[in-house]
Chains A and B, each alone.
Chain A
Amino acid sequence: MISTASPQIELRHLHRVFDHTHAVNDVSFEVYAGEVFGYIGPNGAGKTTSMRILATLDEPTAGDAFVDGFSVVDDPDRVRRRLGFMPDYFGTYQNVNVVEYLDFFARAYGLAGRERLRAIDQVMEFTALNTMTYKPIDGLSKGMKQRLCLGRTMIHDPSVLILDEPAAGLDPRARIELREMIERLAAAGKAILISSHILTELAEIADRVAIIEQGQLLAVGSVKEISNGVQVRNAVRVRALRDGERLRNWLAAREGIFDLKLDGDLAIFNHAGDAESEAALLRAIVEAGFPVVEFGAQHKTLEDVFLHVTEGRVQ
């Protein structure tokens, strides 16, 4: 359930310059409670830099970012109490087992006594690490380490989670489990900002996405909104029982049809428009007397939208 009361995360004209590189250039967006917000872009686009600024690990050159209304520049301590950051590296200690690791971070976040023990129990249960309580961290698999890191991120029950490439290097099962955990966290009302290169998975869980390239924000909104906004063409297949050639000529004469090909009785083309216009097209084909036996529109994925928005500038 996405709350629209006040944003949990807010970036206002954020800039970050490293020597001569403008890593983040005037980036602004908002994330609300209960929302999973995907942050996508090629390597070096400025995702991690913006996330590190939000996590109070770096300072913006200009602009500001807010977590639950607190400035990351002026009130980093208040931000830290409300924020859990999972970077794209593990950050584990040697000679420490799972429960000791969580215990340390629980203490570091100021949890004491029963509250601390309860928080550790809850996190272990949530991340299904109960069976590995006393296992040394060095001996954990990558998926288990990732769970542990997620557990560490939420040990102090933050209202905002920032997850930088949480699914990187995980096997399919671990990825599915991670996705489920993220969905549960969002359902619990947490605002989640997540970056990932696995766009198909991100599209499934993200309520909205922001596409960033070379430090600049190219698009913000739901995948559908962005697709509509950038006029992404959907691949459409139409098979008529006969009159394939006539169908091709009929389609070629219409507007909004691109890259038309005929393979026997099957016409394949790209169509610019939403589902409504596809329905209208089907109706028009039938009314024109073509005996249609197959009509299928393949909508563009987040990957297609991403490639279209970044216009092949992706390195």
Chain B
Amino acid sequence: MTLDATALENAERAGDAAAHPLRARAEAIWSAIDRFLVYAGDWLNPILVKETRQALKSSQFTITFVLMLVACWIATIGVVAYVGPRIFYSAEGGTLLVWYYAILALPLMVVVPLSAFRSLTAEREDNTYDLLSITALKPRQIIAGKLGSSITQMAVYFSAITPCLAFTYLLRGVDLPTIAVLLLYTFFWSLGLSILGILLATLTPQRFVQVIILVAFVAALLLMFYLSIIMGYSAVNLGRAAIFGVDSAFWTATTAMATAYFTFFALAFFASAALITFTSENRSTPLRVCMIVQQAAFVGWMAYAWIHDSYAAGVVAGTMTFAGIYWFVMGTLLTAERPGISQRVRRRLPQSFAGRMFFSWFNPGPASGYMFVIANISSLAVLCAVGAAISSVWSSGSGVGPHAEDQYYMLVVGWGYLVGYLGLALIVVGGLRRIATVTMLASVLINFLLVLAGFGIPYAVKSMSTRLRDVDYSFIQITDPFSSLYHVAYGGVASDSDVIAIVVPGIALCILLLNMPRVIGELRVVREAAPARVIRDEAELHPPPESLPQNPWEEAGEERAKLVES
């Protein structure tokens, strides 16, 4: 627009303002609001802004929203007609709430998580993902934007159902805490499914695999929808008594679930971000920090359960079992990392002796990942051994699970299997990487196949042998972690357990030693200075703050110098 045209328009506006002062004022207010929104929008995630704009114009959103409102009206009319005159004296709010909840659960449990999944996969299909990934947006911002979009959708669905929920409260039979807790659970459930959807969408760019994942995900979401309705029905029937009951079981369980939820949520968030991060970036350390936090929270809760249950040995056994499974799964992922540390990561490696000693296990790399798992599982084993010792002295012994003394064997043998199988897979994958490209998925599969072979081959041999078929446990099953651990924990003769407790950790230590060159190789990588161009750019981007005067004389001196200059 030229200057003349702008001047003309301004003059016209001034004329209009004089003729319609009220309209001019309204326009000024609207313009101010518009300006405010433009600048407020700068603080929002760009993906959230874009996807909200898209959603508001999309037919999918409009149809779902209208269908939801129509369903609410039909439910209201149907239930009111069914209840009839009883509505004036009977408490029917609960019945209607279950219906409303079912209507709300469909978009929240199915539509929103599915949209989150599709949102990221569609970026790849529409060729916009490349454009997005070369902007200044960081992978975490992309994931946060997608999640923010899910939250916005949820907020709209919640707002649509709010008048209906108020109506159920007026009908009596359901209290506000029940409604609030139910909605809060549903919100976090839907959010959890959304991050799961995003994580699944980042797993692979291959179209046919994505289709398989999509089908499985939709099936899982429909199951979640069904389970959420059961939860809604149970919550309405249990009501206030369950939430504010005399014992604290509900809140304890809720807090424990919240701990698990938030730690797994963070893990899924960082894993999603890691999967779309450029390969030279450090994608592993945030995940390892998450795992440590998760382990600390897990140990805390198990300690609480152990003390609460009068130091029951069963809790210690449960902790060991869960920790073993958890660290095996995490170990398969960590040891599947690409070997070699990029120049970019080397610039931020710990430098001091203490830093290298304690934080090198957080560096990316399969061998450091292996040692990270060993360090964690070993510390847990020590904690569990202390727990088992205390249980053997203080516990009443009435609990379920193996005896405290059997748990020492379990700890040693379990540790041996974990270290042995992960280490063996590391050797196999390392060998394969010399001749071919081994993807992360392939590496994880090799881990599971080795365990499966360790379990399956002796099982097949034992089944075919007439001599061994009826024996509870044979030493050929020493590669089978499940039978061996069960045997050590419950059915074993003491001498059997001794042999297993010597052989399994012994082999594990040998495998650990075989992996040591790999570990040392990764540990020997030291920090490297950033190139001069990067240092110069960093100084331009983040210039050091101007030095402040250290004393009043210095300031006075500077003022005097300025005066002299002037």
Question: CB within 8 Å of B: which residues of A?
Answer: 55-57, 59, 69-71, 73-78, 80-81, 83, 85, 87, 89-96, 100, 103-105, 107-110, 112-113, 116-117, 152, 156
Contact = CB atoms under 8 A, between A and B. Distances in A.
B300 interface: no
A83 B134 CA distance: 9
- What 5 A-B pairs have minimum CB-CB distances, sorted nearest first? A107-B46, A108-B135, A95-B57, A69-B533, A112-B42
B53 A96 contact: yes
B537 A78 contact: yes
B134 A93 contact: no
Contact of B54 (A57, A59, A70, A93): A93
A57 B398 CA distance: 61
A74 B42 contact: no
A92 B126 contact: yes
Contacts of B132: 108
A95 B126 contact: no
B342 interface: yes
A93 B344 contact: no
Contact of B131 (A83, A110, A152): A152
Contact of B126 (A69, A74, A93, A105): A93
Interface in B487-546: 531, 533-534, 537
Contacts of B128: 91-93
B402 to A, nearest CB: 50
A91 B135 CA distance: 14
B206 interface: no
Contacts of B133: 57
A105 B531 CA distance: 30
Contact of B136 (A55, A96, A108): A108
B537 A70 contact: yes
B560 interface: no
Contacts of B280: 59, 73-74, 76
Contacts of B344: 73-75
A11 B128 CA distance: 26
A299 B534 CA distance: 46
B127 interface: yes
Given A59-B280, A103-B49, 14 more contacts: A55-B134, A56-B278, A70-B537, A74-B531, A80-B136, A81-B136, A87-B130, A91-B130, A92-B128, A93-B128, A105-B131, A108-B137, A109-B135, A113-B42
A13 to B, nearest CB: 16
Contacts of A95: 53-54, 57-58
A73 B138 CA distance: 16
Contacts of A94: 54, 58, 126
Interface centre among A90, A92, A95 (most CB of B within 10 A): A95
Interface in B99-144: 126-128, 130-138
A182 B123 CA distance: 28
A57 B134 contact: yes
Interface in B266-288: 278-281
Given A95-B58, A112-B42, A104 B50 contact: yes
7 contacts: A78-B534, A78-B537, A85-B131, A85-B134, A93-B126, A94-B54, A104-B49
Nearest to A108: B135
B-side interface mostly: helix
Contacts of B39: 113
Contact of A107 (B49, B278, B343): B49
B38 interface: yes
Given A91-B128, A92-B128, A76 B533 contact: no
Contacts of A59: 278-280
Contact of A117 (B38, B58, B533): B38
Contacts of A71: 343, 531
B143 to A, nearest CB: 14
A231 B281 CA distance: 47
Contacts of B342: 73-74
Interface residues of B, number: 35
A244 to B, nearest CB: 60
B454 to A, nearest CB: 32
A121 to B, nearest CB: 10
Contacts of B38: 113, 117
A91 B131 contact: yes
Interface centre among A91, A103, A108, A156 (most CB of B within 10 A): A108
A109 B46 CA distance: 9
Nearest to B538: A78
Contacts of A104: 46, 49-50
A304 B58 CA distance: 51
A108 B131 CA distance: 10
Contacts of A107: 41-42, 46, 49-50
Contacts of B50: 93, 96, 100, 104, 107
A70 B534 contact: yes
A255 to B, nearest CB: 52
A75 B347 CA distance: 11
Contacts of B41: 107
Contacts of A81: 136
A104 B135 CA distance: 10
A90 B54 contact: no
Contacts of A78: 534, 537
Given A87-B130, A95-B53, A152-B131, A74 B137 contact: no
A116 B35 CA distance: 13
A80 B135 contact: yes
A63 B54 CA distance: 41
A76 B281 CA distance: 9
B317 to A, nearest CB: 46
Nearest to A75: B534
A57 B41 CA distance: 29
B534 A96 contact: no
B533 A70 contact: yes
A94 B344 CA distance: 37
Nearest to A85: B134
Contacts of B57: 95
A244 B375 CA distance: 94
Interface in B352-399: none
Given A95-B57, A105-B135, A109-B136, A57 B533 contact: no
A105 B133 CA distance: 11
Contacts of A91: 126-128, 130-131
A289 B534 CA distance: 69
Contacts of B138: 77
A64 to B, nearest CB: 10
A78 B542 CA distance: 14
Contacts of A73: 280, 342-344
Contacts of B537: 70, 78
B37 to A, nearest CB: 12
A201 to B, nearest CB: 25
Interface in B40-64: 41-42, 46-47, 49-50, 53-54, 57-58
Contacts of B46: 104, 107-108
A83 B38 CA distance: 26
Contact of B127 (A56, A77, A90, A109): A90
A87 B137 CA distance: 19
A116 B41 CA distance: 11
B512 to A, nearest CB: 32
Nearest to B130: A57
A71 B537 CA distance: 13
Contacts of B134: 55-57, 80, 83, 85
Contacts of A108: 46-47, 132, 135-137
